[in-house]
Amino acid sequence: MSKQPRSLHGKVIAITGGARGIGKATAEALSRAGAVVAIGDLDADLAAEAAAGLSGNAIGLALDVTDRVGFSAFLDEVETQLGPLYGLVNNAGIMPTGNIDLEDDATTTREIAINLHAVIHGTKELIRRAKPRRSGHVINISSAAGKISGAGVATYTATKFAVVGFSESVALELDATGVDITVIYPALTKTELISGLKELRGVPQIEPSDVADAIVRSFQNPRFNVPVPRAMGAVMTAYQATPWPVRAKAAKVVKSDSVISEADQSARAAYEARVARDVAANRE
């Protein structure tokens, strides 16, 4: 007999990078499922606007996930306004593109800070709050790139592989604590992050709502590995089990060796410029 899905009614769930793309779609889907949603985003006005479109007591607040003190304060404020935090979706991420030898150190540092260090910090914070209550769930957004490498996104790929390894270790620590952890592996998702990229052969591009629905299902029926679409699971498993020379040849077939170099750079210009401004504003 299958387990009854967990009700999300009244559960407080925070989402990082929740004002756009996958994060916004997730906020909408969780709200429809009865959760009380807190959106955190660098763009405070956009976060507030996204929250205003949701039912219930949803809130939208400013959040720079690389500011550890600020990230913790954001979660404190969520609990002050909405009540004990049940779930956290570590969704915020960036994907600047280009060959690694052309990537400056500030870009590398910022990407690792957002895509990995913030995931680690957010996971710690959720567990510290949820463990005493023996109830909670953190969902970390990796990517199909967390299992399948691609050229032109070396640092991004490294961070997404790292999120997987980190989450696997944490899963072992959480056994029998009442706190769950899930990793979501979206294929190329139609957001600003993949603007200008062509489809990979045999790998369909998906909608943010597809990922959002998988996140809701993961809260309701906890699983550790959740590829989106589900068929990507077999692809990722086969890729990981294959020797490197074969994987390198497969990359040429599916075009993961050239999807970035062949991207429409004019279509990516606005996204890359926004990432560059963020990097410049936080240059050490």
What positions carry a catalytic annotation? 156
Residue 175 · residue 284 · CB < 8 Å: no
By CB atoms closer than 10 A (0-12, 13-18, 19+), residue 102 is: exposed
Residue 188 has phi, psi (to 5 degrees) of: -55, 120
Residue 267 · residue 195 · CB < 8 Å: yes
Long-range contacts of residues 235-243, Cβ cutoff 8 Å, at least 24 apart: 235/144, 235/148, 235/202, 235/203, 236/144, 236/147, 236/148, 236/185, 239/147, 239/148, 240/147
Q: What is the DSSP letter of 131?
A: G
By CB atoms closer than 10 A (0-12, 13-18, 19+), residue 25 is: buried
What's the CA gap between 10 and 35, in Å, rounded? 5
Classified as helix, coil or strand, 139 is: strand
Residue 118 · residue 90 · CB < 8 Å: yes
* Beta strands across the sheet bearing 59-62: 59-62, 36-41, 12-16, 85-90, 136-141, 179-186, 225-228
- Asked if residue 229 has a cis previous peptide bond (ω within 30° of 0), the answer is yes
